[in-house]
Amino acid sequence: MIEKLIHDSTNLLRDLIRIPSFSKEENQTGDTIARFLQQRGVRTYRKMNNIWAYNKFFDPAKPTILLNSHHDTVKPNTGYTRNPFSPDIEDGKLYGLGSNDAGGCLVSLIATFLHFYPQEGLHYNFCLAATAEEEISGTNGLELVIPDLGPLDFAIVGEPTLMQLAVAERGLMVLDCTAYGTAGHAAREEGDNAIYKALKDIEWFISYRFPKESEEFGPIKMSVTVIHAGSQHNVVPATCEFVVDIRVTDAYRNEEVLDIIRQHVKCEVKPRSVRLKPSSIPKEHPVVQAGLAFGRKTYGSPTTSDQALLDIPSLKLGPGDSARSHMADEFIYLDEIGEGVRLYTAILDKVVNG
């Protein structure tokens, strides 16, 4: 049964690679995924380019596990020497755009879902969600359908981790900051220089250390990355604008970090978004313990994924290597897909049948 699921998953991935599915253009891969599930007797649901389904014996009284990965891709970079939409197999590698990020994870999770789909008496339900716009952190992907999925207990988010357990992921906030002064002539004692005001706040961003630190990541990292001020050499600037990139750890929520910053600086602080949240799952959680029992190791992931949109415990886990994501001539090893299906099913079997 597992071997057939692996075989079918590999063929599905090859079909998906053949179809361009850039972010916001995933309608045809959505069709393909829905058709694949429907041909196996699974009822599917759809909103825009997001496809989801539930196990056959879904019981509203039981908690639900979300299995999620994305079917959009970035555009191929200029270094490609192969056809990015040709799913060629050579030397045990399956080539093609999206093969590693995150096609291998997606089809392995689909296979895992199908493995558990007909089983009765599970301690958990399963919800499979193949979603769009992950590569651009878009609002019409997972975030759009979360309200439709129903209550969820925890999630496995399929991203290439070499099947190691990413138990935490940094969040991201970008702040647009403005220091206000008063314009004046530089030759006279006029004006209130906004650059000098901004420098005091920038120094705070450089030196401040948040009291709580993450076990996986250590301190929150804040970096001033852009600055604009002034119009000409003899005018004291009335405004100074700068941008701060903040990598929020699982020790804080984005809103908490924003409140602390506003308490300490005098400039105006406007976040572009607070929706890309840090995420984590306790190491004591049954799914993490199950992974550890199979020799997997835990770590904190520096990259952002759809985990950032979830307000439930979530584990990032999947076949493939994050270092291959977005590379030219992207590939995944066929053995990695097999390992993904076997480990996903073995880990989850300990949770839902244990």
What is the chain's pLDDT, residue by residue, as a tens digit (354 residues)?
899 999 999 999 999 999 999 999 999 999 999 999 999 999 999 999 999 999 999 999 999 999 999 999 999 989 999 999 999 999 999 999 999 999 999 999 999 999 999 999 999 999 999 999 999 999 999 999 999 999 999 999 999 999 999 999 999 999 999 999 999 988 888 899 999 999 999 999 999 999 999 999 999 999 999 999 999 999 999 999 999 999 999 999 999 999 999 999 999 999 999 999 999 999 999 999 999 999 999 999 988 899 999 999 999 999 999 989 889 999 999 999 999 999 999 999 999 997
- CA atoms of 93 and 87, how far apart (whole Å): 10
Is the whole-model pTM more than 0.85? yes
Fill in the DSSP letter of residue 141: S
Q: Which of 146, 130, 128, 150 is nearest to 308 (CA)?
A: 146
Q: What CATH code would you report for 1-169+278-353?
A: 3.40.630.10
Number of H helices, E strands in the chain: 8, 18
How many angstroms separate the CA atoms of 46 and 38, rounded? 12
154, 314 contact by CB (below 8 A): yes
> Could you give the 3-state DSSP secondary structure of residue 149?
helix
Fold that domain 171-273 belongs to in CATH: Alpha-Beta Plaits (3.30.70)
**Residue 236 near residue 206 (C-beta atoms within 8 A):** no
Give the tokens for residue 262: 């506003």
Residue range(s) of every CATH 3.40.630.10 domain in the chain: 1-169+278-353
What's the pLDDT score for residue 304?
Answer: 86
Cα 137 from Cα 340, distance rounded (Å): 25
**Residue 194 Ramachandran class (φ > 0 left, ψ -120 to 50 alpha, else beta):** alpha
Residues of the chain with CATH 3.30.70.360: 171-273
Vertex 310, ends 309 and 314: CA angle to 5°? 125
State the CB neighbour count (10 A cutoff) for residue 7: 13
